């Protein structure tokens, strides 16, 4: 692939090859065939895991790094347009990783740049590398994705990770249940898209029942989206993962989360053997190493 802007750009065969390469890179020292290459990371929104895992992946591959951590680090504060910024950085780097608050910004960057562009999150739209990490984690821990019953819980309307993941799960043949408040349900257009393309039937629920679930994937309810803060708190408590809500779940259930988590998972759940989101975060390094190896190789 040249650019990785949306999970819609990804074919199942290519994703599977990335998983295989990530396994190899996680099991032995990485070959430094990309030494001398330069990666630019342009983060105009806060990030911990995505930014640092890309930095770690680049370091392990021998890639040099040019980093813009925030708008304040760039000439955008002087009025320079994003278009000009991309054109300038494209002249310095062999690949650009961009996170930006505006939906479509990564696609714009890919259209402008001669070198590969990787989307690290564009507003509430897409986060394709996170989806590949999520799918890789499920495949590694469960030895398959097809046929798994995956429940996506939380803010399904605004969370870009959920939008990307639904598409990725449908592509790999998982069974999907969406659990959220009615106010934060997944947009119908996205559901219709996966049904039309993959024949996926998605179940919709507002009940915290995980008895048939193989993978429980959680994201936070975004309080900042609510006009009434008390309503946000009420829903957050109602859709909070606790030890009580996990009663009756399968012994081998795994719980994933893109992180950061706030109040949507009770602290005592962190001690459960079902929790695998810290391991999921670690897998961000080999998966992003594999992606960089492919698009820069």
By annotation, the residues acting in catalysis are 49-50, 78, 99, 127
Q: Tell me which residue of 134, 127, 135 sits closest to 99, measured CA to CA.
A: 127
Report CA dihedral (91, 93, 135, 195) to the nearest 10 degrees.
0
Is residue 8 within 8 Å of residue 166, measured between CB atoms?
no
- Report how far residue 181's alpha carbon sits from residue 155's, in angstroms, rounded to the nearest whole number: 8
Rg of the chain in Å (alpha carbons): 19
* Structure tokens given for 136: 């890789």
- Helix 82-90 and helix 105-112, axial crossing angle in degrees, nearest 10: 40
* Structure tokens given for 159: 């969370």
């Amino acid at each position: 692939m040249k650019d990785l802007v949306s999970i819609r750009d990804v074919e199942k065969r290519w994703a599977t090859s990335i998983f295989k390469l990530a396994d190899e890179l996680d099991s032995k020292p990485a070959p430094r065939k990309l030494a001398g290459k330069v990666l630019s990371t342009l983060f105009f929104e806060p990030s911990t895991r995505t930014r640092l895992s890309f930095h770690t992946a680049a370091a392990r591959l021998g890639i040099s790094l040019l980093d813009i951590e925030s708008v304040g680090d760039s000439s955008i504060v002087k009025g320079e347009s994003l278009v000009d910024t991309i054109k300038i950085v494209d002249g310095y780097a062999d690949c650009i990783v961009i996170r930006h608050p505006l939906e479509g910004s990564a696609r714009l960057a890919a259209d402008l740049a001669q070198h590969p562009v990787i989307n690290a999150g564009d507003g509430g739209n897409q986060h394709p590398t996170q989806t590949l990490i999520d799918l890789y984690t499920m495949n590694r821990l469960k030895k398959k994705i097809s046929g798994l019953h995956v429940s996506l819980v939380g803010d399904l309307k605004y969370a870009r990770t959920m939008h990307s993941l639904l598409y990725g799960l449908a592509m790999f043949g998982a069974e999907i249940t969406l659990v959220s408040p009615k106010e934060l349900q997944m947009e119908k257009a996205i559901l219709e898209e996966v049904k039309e393309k993959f024949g996926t039937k998605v179940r919709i629920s507002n009940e915290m029942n995980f008895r048939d679930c193989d993978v429980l994937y959680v994201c936070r309810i975004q309080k900042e989206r609510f006009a009434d803060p008390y309503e946000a708190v009420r829903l957050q408590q109602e859709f909070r993962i606790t030890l009580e809500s996990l009663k009756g779940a399968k012994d081998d259930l795994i719980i994933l989360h893109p992180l950061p988590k706030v109040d949507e998972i009770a602290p005592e759940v962190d001690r459960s053997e079902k929790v695998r989101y810290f391991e999921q975060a670690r897998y961000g390094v080999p998966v992003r190493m594999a992606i960089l190896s492919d698009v820069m190789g």
